[in-house]
A and B are shown apart, each in its own frame.
Chain A
Amino acid sequence: MPLDKSVLERTFPDFEFRVERGKIREYALVLGLTDPVHTDVEAARAAGFDDLLAPPTFVRQFWHENTENDPMPHLGYDPKRRLHGEQEFEYHKPLVAGMNLKGQNAIVSTREKEGRRGGMMTFVVIETRFLDETGELVQVARRTLIETAAPPKEA
């Protein structure tokens, strides 16, 4: 299924959420992060943070708060041929528990190319900007989503 080009005309509503201590701890523990700045409030404060510090890839959980503000389900991709090709993060200020963040999603680039075994591959880059309550940029996440030409049998 080719890219549904109408998605490029769409805008996606901002979404807001509170960064919770429990989710930060859970994310850190799954990855085995032993640094107490992610799990112990006192240790986080002793290290100079206002509260528990989110691990570097934590914002992954906010990419699709719901289907209205996430471009991904509107790309027209076959979910069985959808791959996460690249992921980029930009860090502007510490992301800590208790922050109320606003997320803004946009499609920032698209391209197509011939697959190695024929058929077209599609590449879409979705950018999510995370702002704090004062409107300052906290982090930017950019994910490259690929629709492969055929079901990926091997990597």
Chain B
Amino acid sequence: MTIATKYAKWEELAEGAERELTVGPITRTDLVRYAGASGDFNPNHHDEIYAIRAGFDKPFAHGMLQGGYLARLLSEWLGPDSFKNLKIRFSAQAWPGDMVICKARVVRQYEEAEQPMVEIEASAENQRGDVLIKATATAAPRS
């Protein structure tokens, strides 16, 4: 298998190594595109009147949109097929106009059955510092 060199090298993934990705501001078009790409047509994410009747101020982003941004950060850092698992917990909504600031950190670097592995803690926040999602992942980095 060809090993791409653009992913982080093992020595760059020591405990405490960090990576950030800022996306946004999120637009309503992003929400509609994500609905189409994911097949999730929950009206809270595109129908103003429906969302207001459900108690929200306006439509908000699918949690998996922020989850996807965070997964993108990890994928571009560690390699797109490096994941063993990824667990995302949704804390707060992201609204149109919000920035999504994704941060990830290596909390453990180890070997499992001679396979180099890393354990990651990650989060996404908006521009006000509110946590939108938290995530953990284990991955076998590509390089």
Contact = CB atoms under 8 A, between A and B. Distances in A.
B34 A30 contact: yes
B39 A64 contact: yes
If over half of B's interface residues share one DSSP class (helix, strand or loop), that class is named, otherwise mixed; here it is mixed
B42 to A, nearest CB: 7
B115 interface: no
Interface in A18-55: 23, 26-27, 30-35, 37-38, 46-49, 53, 55
B39 A34 contact: no
Contacts, number: 111
Contacts of B75: 33, 35, 55-56
Contact of B86 (A35, A79, A88, A151): A88
Interface stretch (A7-15, A89-97, A98-106, A114-122): A89-97
A84 interface: yes
A85 B30 contact: no
Given A55-B71, A64-B39, A80-B54, A32 B86 contact: no
Nearest to B34: A30
Nearest to B55: A151
Contacts of B86: 56-57, 88-89, 91
Interface in B79-129: 80-81, 83-93
The interface size bin for chain A is: 35 or more
A109 to B, nearest CB: 15
B92 A55 contact: no
B2 A48 contact: yes
B55 A80 contact: yes
A13 B128 CA distance: 44
Interface of B: 1-2, 4, 23, 30, 33-34, 36-40, 42, 44, 53-56, 63-65, 67-69, 71-72, 74-76, 80-81, 83-93, 130
25 contacts: A27-B68, A31-B65, A34-B76, A35-B75, A35-B76, A53-B80, A56-B74, A56-B80, A57-B67, A61-B38, A61-B40, A62-B39, A63-B39, A79-B42, A87-B64, A87-B87, A88-B86, A88-B87, A90-B85, A91-B83, A151-B54, A151-B55, A152-B55, A153-B55, A155-B130
